[in-house]
């Protein structure tokens, strides 16, 4: 009898132990807002993660070189029109000296001195000469000053230097004189025009335009001088 009750008692004990273990092994759903604080924080953290990424905003700035206002276009057009008009109205002498002086034609507009120096352009050099058959540097300067400014200068380069008011080379204006030492002392003179160019009677080329920055003349440059001119001629300078 007792042996028959032992298996039945074992079954009852096993069922009782399984029932007490069920809540521990069972999985219960976690509901947001309920349960312990650890589960709640974990759910909240997951809710804050966004699965959609926002693309960066690209800002396009047009290149400055490609943008131009109507005002600037009109200004450029006006400059081109003015330059074209100046070239159209320019005399043959102005066009010639714009090339020789490497400058714009409009900068020579109304330039009266060029007409006087151009009368002698290309005349051959002759020491002591004072005519179209041949002329030296100081005689050329003397002839131009008489015709352009009605001023009579001394005959030699040295005397013209003494008669001038010595100025800095940075003060040079059209019509000023530039002096050089080519044979000892003040021995050569020319008339400054513009853009570092001067016209003179060269021993090798006759009356021509040369550059102040030519190495030959830079080494021999002595100084610059200004002869005071009549008020009527100041507009040229």
Q: What is the pLDDT of residues 111-133, one digit of tens each?
A: 789 999 999 999 999 999 999 99
Cα–Cα distance for residue pair 237/229, rounded to 1 Å: 10
Q: Which of 18, 77, 116, 200 is catalytic?
A: 200
Instruction: Considering only residues 208 and 22, tell me which one the structure prediction assigns the higher pLDDT.
Output: 208
Q: Residues 6 or more apart from 28 whose CB is under 8 A from it?
A: none
Q: Is the pLDDT of residue 232 over 80?
A: no
Q: Residue 117 in contact with residue 199, Cβ under 8 Å?
A: yes
Q: Is the pLDDT of residue 204 over 80?
A: yes
Instruction: Return the CATH number of the domain spanning residue range 114-236.
Output: 3.90.1720.10
Q: What pLDDT, on a 0 to 100 scale, did the predictor assign at position 90?
A: 85
Cα–Cα distance for residue pair 59/159, rounded to 1 Å: 72
Q: Is the pLDDT of residue 10 over 90?
A: no
Instruction: Considering only residues 36 and 137, tell me which one the structure prediction assigns the higher pLDDT.
Output: 137
Global confidence as pTM: 0.64
18 has catalytic annotation: no
pLDDT tens-digit series, residues 171-199 = 999 999 999 999 999 999 999 999 999 99
Q: Residues 6 or more apart from 30 whose CB is under 8 A from it?
A: 39, 43
- Give the domain ranges of the chain: 76-110, 114-236
Q: Which of 18, 77, 116, 188 is catalytic?
A: 188
Cα–Cα distance for residue pair 11/115, rounded to 1 Å: 138
Q: 174: part of which helix (H) or strand (E)?
A: none
82 has catalytic annotation: no
Q: For residue 105, give the 3-state DSSP assignment.
A: helix
pLDDT tens-digit series, residues 23-42 = 444 444 444 444 444 444 44
Q: What pLDDT, on a 0 to 100 scale, did the predictor assign at position 32?
A: 46
Q: What pLDDT, on a 0 to 100 scale, did the predictor assign at position 83?
A: 54
Q: What pLDDT, on a 0 to 100 scale, did the predictor assign at position 34?
A: 44
């Amino acid at each position: 009898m007792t042996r028959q009750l032992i298996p039945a008692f074992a079954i009852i004990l096993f069922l009782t132990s399984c029932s007490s273990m069920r809540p521990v092994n069972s999985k219960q759903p976690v509901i947001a807002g309920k349960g312990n604080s650890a589960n709640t924080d974990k759910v909240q953290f997951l809710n804050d993660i966004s699965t959609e990424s926002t693309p960066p905003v690209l800002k396009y700035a047009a290149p400055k070189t490609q943008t131009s206002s109507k005002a600037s276009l009109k200004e450029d057009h006006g400059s081109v029109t003015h330059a074209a008009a100046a070239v159209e109205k320019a005399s043959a002498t102005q066009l010639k000296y714009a090339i020789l002086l490497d400058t714009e034609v409009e900068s020579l507009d109304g330039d009266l001195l060029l007409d006087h120096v151009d009368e002698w352009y290309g005349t051959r050099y002759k020491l002591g000469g004072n005519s179209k058959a041949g002329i030296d540097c100081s005689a050329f300067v003397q002839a131009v000053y008489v015709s352009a400014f009605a001023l009579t200068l001394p005959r030699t380069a040295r005397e013209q230097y003494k008669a001038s008011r010595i100025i800095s080379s940075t003060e040079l204006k059209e019509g000023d004189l530039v002096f050089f030492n080519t044979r000892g002392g003040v021995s050569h003179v020319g008339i400054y025009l513009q853009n570092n160019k001067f016209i003179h009677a060269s021993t090798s080329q006759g009356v021509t335009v040369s550059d102040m920055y030519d190495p030959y003349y830079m080494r021999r440059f002595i100084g610059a001088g200004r002869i005071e001119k009549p008020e009527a001629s100041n507009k040229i300078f």
